Amino acid sequence: MAQDTSSSTSTANRTQQSWRGSTSEDGFDSEGQPEARVGLKYTLTQVRRDPTALLGLGIIGFMTAVALIAFVDSIVFDVLGDVAFFADLGIRQYALVEAVWINPVNDPDNAEILLPPVGLTNEIHPEQAGTLAHPLGTDHRGRDILARLFYGTRIAITVGIVSTGIAMALGTLVGAVAGYYGGRIDDALMRGAEVLFAIPFLVLVIAFMTAFGRNLTFAMVGVGIATIPTFARLIRSRVLSVREEAFVEAARAAGVRDRNIILRHVIPNSFAPVLVQATLQVGINILIIAGLSFLGYGAQPPTPSWGQMLSSSRNYMLPNPWFSIWPGLAILVTVVGFNLLGDGLRDALDPRINN
């Protein structure tokens, strides 16, 4: 009898552990219970344990902090400068960077163009090494490259997040509705998404900007619209299985409206791969917008932009290669940061890896 009781207890414990999910390295949480391998807490724990994800998060955090400072100095101070009270206090666009460094937009007086980085020389200045006044050198107008890289971060982070947000919001809604209802609604929505997918990406974005305007706002909207099919197809594949789950059937039986079922049950339980794709897509969109700026369709001079800096440097790559190396490295590091974070989130959210 005691043996049967012990066996039943052991079976119950195994069932409870199986229901809660596999355990972590030590197997238990702080309360001594088997650790669940689901939920936000577990995901954050897994990201903290992943050194590559932490590296990516550190890169993104640094770039975001730089972008926020640049946003305040270039946009917020510009708006406040139109108010008499703040103007009397000396608040104006780029007031912060001018107080501690140098204006990244205006052509400086008597500046030397195409200076090399500190301690180095180039073909234009073979006998004059770079100085600490311009640690990364100057561009073809004598403007400090480091200052322009700093303020170009605002453009890169903004366009990456905004364009991805547009695509994620619209694509998630389209894919969820198509997958949930199926039939003709599914066919109509997904055929429309496939039409967008069939058009070459850059051709679609450039055509959109040609029709509505060659500025950064329409560049973000155009890239976001062109990326909608990626998110729509991704979440639809998940919704097709989630809609057959018992909790969705129970919600239908209880008389819950389809809109509420989609928003409160279907999308939240299908969102994990969308979140991973969004993290990776930010890096991709930064590359795309940089390419558009290189072609003259993104941020317009004199606004600092990494893509526009690469475009300006293409005529000076041989005599002063550093002019093009620095913005290229900035794009590389930022995109790698988002990719590392995306890989870490994928590892934390992928049930095949968890099991």
Model pLDDT for residues 110-161, shown as the tens digit of each residue? 778 899 999 898 888 888 888 888 999 999 999 999 999 999 999 999 999 9
pLDDT of residue 330: 96
pLDDT of residue 46: 76
Among 4-8, 46-50, 108-112, the minimum mean pLDDT is found in: 4-8
pLDDT of residue 3: 45
In whole angstroms, give the CA distance from residue 79 to residue 209.
26
Among 4-8, 107-111, 344-348, the minimum mean pLDDT is found in: 4-8
Global confidence as pTM:
0.84
Q: Of how many residues is the chain composed?
A: 355
In whole angstroms, give the CA distance from residue 294 to residue 313.
10
Closest CA to 151 of 285, 263, 308, 14: 308
pLDDT of residue 33: 53
Among 36-50, 62-76, 107-121, the minimum mean pLDDT is found in: 36-50
Whether 290 and 159 share a structural domain? yes
CA distances to 76, 85, 95, 190, 313 from 80, in Å: 6, 9, 11, 46, 34
Is it the case that residue 7 has pLDDT exceeding 70? no
In whole angstroms, give the CA distance from residue 13 to residue 321.
65
For residue 111, being part of any structural domain is answered with no
pLDDT of residue 346: 84
- CATH code, domain with 257: 1.10.3720.10
For residue 114, being part of any structural domain is answered with no
Residue 96 belongs to what domain range?
A: 52-100
CB 169 within 8 A of CB 230: no
Mean pLDDT value of segment 56-63: 95
For residue 338, being part of any structural domain is answered with yes
Is it the case that residue 105 has pLDDT exceeding 60? yes
pLDDT of residue 351: 55
Cα diameter, the chain:
97
For residue 135, being part of any structural domain is answered with no
- Of the two residues 345 and 330, the one the predictor is more confident about is 330
For residue 240, being part of any structural domain is answered with yes
Number of other residues whose CB lies within 10 A of the CB of residue 210:
12
For residue 74, being part of any structural domain is answered with yes
pLDDT of residue 240: 93
pLDDT of residue 29: 53
pLDDT of residue 135: 93
Whether 344 and 282 share a structural domain? yes
Whether 253 and 345 share a structural domain? yes
Among 26-35, 193-202, 211-220, the minimum mean pLDDT is found in: 26-35
For residue 3, being part of any structural domain is answered with no
77, 100, 123 — which closes off a domain? 100
Q: Please report which confidence band the pLDDT of residue 23 belongs to, taking 50, 70 and 90 as the band edges.
A: very low
For residue 131, being part of any structural domain is answered with no
Whether 180 and 72 share a structural domain? no
Predicted confidence (pLDDT) per residue in 284-311, tens digit: 999 999 999 998 888 888 889 999 999 9
pLDDT of residue 126: 87
Whether 201 and 327 share a structural domain? yes
Q: For the chain, how many structural domains are there in total? A: 2
